[in-house]
Amino acid sequence: MFTSPLNGAEIRKDFPIFSKTMRGGGRLVYLDSGATSQKPNSVLDGERYFYENHNAAVHRGSHLLAEEANEAYEGARAIVAHFLGANLDEIIFTKSATEGLNLLAYSFGNSASTSRFALNPGDRIVLSEMEHHANLIPWQQLAKRCGAEIVWFPVDPDGRLDLSAMNDIISERTKIVALTHQSNVLGTINPLDQLISRTHEVGAVFVLDACQSAPHFAIDVKSLGPDFLVFSGHKALGPTGIGVLWGRAELLEEMEPFLTGGSMIESVTMTDATWASAPRKFEAGVPNMAGAVGLGIALQYLLNVGMNNVEAHEHALTQYALTKFADLERVRIIGPTDTKMRGSVLSFEIDGVHPHDAGQVLDQHGIAVRTGHHCAWPLMRKLGIVGTTRASFYIYNDEKDVDALIDGILATQKYFKV
């Protein structure tokens, strides 16, 4: 039994890629939205419309095209702000979540030693074992540069954060806590309330990696309470090469810039420069204008669908899939096996079949999944596996896609005689 407010097959009509014929001759069953999402026509049309009608460098010209480009770009910023419940000047366009996290790490590293963001030897950055490399290595590098320490929450056998030692892990020495909202491997959604209040209790800042959450359920930054948040446009129906960093206005104001160059300055001499205020301070150079415009349209598409519907739809798909998986033999879910505090990312192992081989057979059936360590190598090591096969759902999927996956797994087992 499958009920959802959304009809995946109907939604697929908005996404031109679904008319493609796949390797095996069948339709595309796209279960890799955790890696990147497909794009609706409206996003592709909107990018093109920008280039055909308003293309000019923003912030730098006073002619008509430049005015229009500016309006389109700042209009996209307004949509992102609305999407997150944030203020306009708190939205910074980056090229990706990865850049957003690096921006924070470098900006903190650039701070004067008296700044609240400065890390001194012995200071701590708190992460978790389920972090994506993008929310791990930038902090490792920052820690190395500043002599700070990385400490982390372990992951328990159910794929949940072990918070039993929370008050020791987030301590008075903690300056930064950077955690994922939802694991891109396990699907686990982390309980932010207690983590954020503990973080603020010790005077640290909380950085939220919302790559796997912002595209999938409603987020209101003001009520959720982190200090910074990043996500990638390409996972949220948007174009490639555009991402978002949100930060609290008063923190952005205090921060040092990251990339420097044109359009982020107040005044410049040969030896010195002063900065514009946020968001400009963090957007050096001619930005990805068409990308921002496309992302604005993508988020508007999601808002029109309704983020609660998106969430309910993915919940229904996950529920349906978990039930079906329970009937499979010699197939193990890696991550929570119920839908409580869990999103629609579903990792699994097939006994006797390496994920890469499983992915290959599924591909032959037109089913696109991701295989491997999912840029979360420490988590793989912790779980004692080399990788998983991962299916991840989005609005354009439906229960038939889950059925196809299940059939594909059975075919895989048959093919490899396991």
Ligand X SMILES: Cc1ncc(COP(=O)(O)O)c(C=O)c1O
When asked if residue 381 is in the footprint of a copy of itself (CB under 8 A), the reply is yes
When asked if residue 226 is in the footprint of another protein (CB under 8 A), the reply is no
Compare residues 55 and 360 and give the one whose CB is closer to another protein.
Answer: 360
Task: Give the tokens for residue 38.
Answer: 């497909």
Q: Could you tell me the CA-to-CA distances from 20 to 17, 226, 237, 370, 408 in Å, in that order? A: 6, 41, 18, 19, 19
When asked if residue 129 is in the footprint of ligand X (CB under 6 A), the reply is no
**Measured between alpha carbons, how far apart are the two ends of the chain, in Å?**
29
When asked if residue 269 is in the footprint of another protein (CB under 8 A), the reply is no
* Closest distance to ligand X from the beta carbon of 61 (Å): 11
When asked if residue 89 is in the footprint of another protein (CB under 8 A), the reply is no
Task: Give the tokens for residue 410.
Answer: 């059975």
Kindly give the pairing relationship between strand 124-128 and strand 149-153.
Answer: parallel
When asked if residue 209 is in the footprint of a copy of itself (CB under 8 A), the reply is no
In angstroms, rounded to a whole number, what is the distance separating the alpha carbons of residues 213 and 235?
10
Compare residues 213 and 319 and give the one whose CB is closer to ligand X.
Answer: 213
When asked if residue 98 is in the footprint of a copy of itself (CB under 8 A), the reply is yes
- Cα-to-chain-centroid distance, residue 152: 20
When asked if residue 287 is in the footprint of a copy of itself (CB under 8 A), the reply is yes
When asked if residue 135 is in the footprint of ligand X (CB under 6 A), the reply is yes
In angstroms, rounded to a whole number, what is the distance separating the alpha carbons of residues 262 and 92?
16
Question: x/- contact string, 30-59, with a copy of itself (CB under 8 A)?
Answer: x-x--xx-xx----x--xx--xxx-xxx--
* Closest distance to another protein from the beta carbon of 130 (Å): 16
Q: Which helix (H) or strand (E) holds 407?
A: helix 399-415
When asked if residue 300 is in the footprint of ligand X (CB under 6 A), the reply is no
* Closest distance to a copy of itself from the beta carbon of 180 (Å): 13
- Cα-to-chain-centroid distance, residue 389: 19
In this structure, what are the phi and psi dihedrals at residue 242, rounded to the nearest 5 degrees?
Answer: -140, 135
The option from ligand X, another protein, a copy of itself, none interacting with 209 (CB < 5 to 8 A, set by class) reads ligand X
Among 118, 137, 166, 286, which residue sits at the site for ligand X (rule: CB under 6 A)?
A: 286
What is the DSSP track for 60-77? S--SHHHHHHHHHHHHHH
In angstroms, rounded to a whole number, what is the distance separating the alpha carbons of residues 221 and 87?
10
Among 13, 20, 222, 414, which residue sits at the site for a copy of itself (rule: CB under 8 A)?
A: 20
When asked if residue 411 is in the footprint of a copy of itself (CB under 8 A), the reply is no
Catalytic center residues: 375
Could you list the residues that contact ligand X (CB under 6 A)? 96-98, 132, 134-135, 180, 184, 209, 211-212, 232, 234, 262, 285-286, 375
